[in-house]
Structure 1
Amino acid sequence: MKVNLAALAKGTRRLLKKFIYVRATRREHKNIKVAQESSKKTTDTCKICFAETYVDQMFLVPSCHHSYCLACMSDHVEYKLLDGVLPKCPHENCKTELQPDCCKEFLSPNLVIIMSQRMKEASIPAQDRIYCPNPRCSALFSRTKLQGSKKNSTRARKCPNCKNPCMSREERELRWLASRERWRQCPKCRDMVSLASGCYHIYCRCGHQFCYKCGAKWGHGRPTCRCPIWDERNIIYAGQNVGQKFRNEKRTM
Structure 2
Amino acid sequence: MSSASSLPPFNQEQSIYEADLETTLLIAQLAQQDLEELASACKGKGRADKPRSDHELALEIQNEQLNEWRTFLEDAKLARSIGAALQTDQNTLNAFSIVEQAAAEDHRVAEILSQGGDLPEPTPTQKLLEDPTLFVEPPPSQGVAKPSRDSTRKGIGEATITPSTNISQIPVAGPSVDRYRRTACTICNDYVRFQECLHTSCDHHYCRDSFTRDESLFPLRCCQQPIPPDQASTFLNARLRSLFDVKLREFGTPPQTRVYCILPTCSAFLGSSEAVPAFTAIRCPQCQSHTCPSCKQAGHDARDCSENAAVKELKALARAEHWQTCPGCHAIVELQHGCYHMTCRCHTQFCYLCAVPWKNCGCHQWDDQRLLVAAERRVENEVGAAVRVEQPLVFQELVQERARTLHVNHDCVVHSWKNRSGGTCEECQEYLHLFLKICRNCSLVACRRCALNRL
Do both proteins adopt the same fold according to a TM-score greater than 0.5, normalized to the shorter chain?
no
TM-score (norm 1): 0.35
Select the structure with the greater relative contact order (CA < 8 A; seq sep ≥ 6): 2
TM-score (norm 2): 0.22
